[in-house]
Structure 1
């Protein structure tokens, strides 16, 4: 059941302008789904980056949103309900 909702969410995210990949991981960094250019091998690193962001602001109750930018595009990271979502976007 959860897999279908993740797939539906990924399909919806992929329709946004500039999005060319989505990776979803569980709390341990294991990839549960991926579409587009998102590399399955980066699941652990995505989860680790969000863990570090939480450590930087331990008193904040909201989940952090991390954006990693380069000349080629950006990677947005957010965790929700134990699932980390990485959204790859190209620069317009």
Structure 2
């Protein structure tokens, strides 16, 4: 993962602020974001090899995931469960 510094920075500094977003380290695998439906079936995969930290943040927000501004912030009710709806604009 060391050659994917932007992805690593996202994981270390931003991931914890996103609601319903988890990280799984798959040794030797290329960094890929996988979106699941309510039945835990993969519905979309996005290659993150060339993504910047900012692009990953924007992607999750565009996909409808909520990003807290601090650890103590409550997640609004409309974001507590999926499905998530992609937004046309950020």
Give TM-score scaled by structure 2 length: 0.28
Q: Point out the structure with the larger strand share.
A: 1
Q: Point out the structure with the larger helix share.
A: 1
Give TM-score scaled by structure 1 length: 0.27
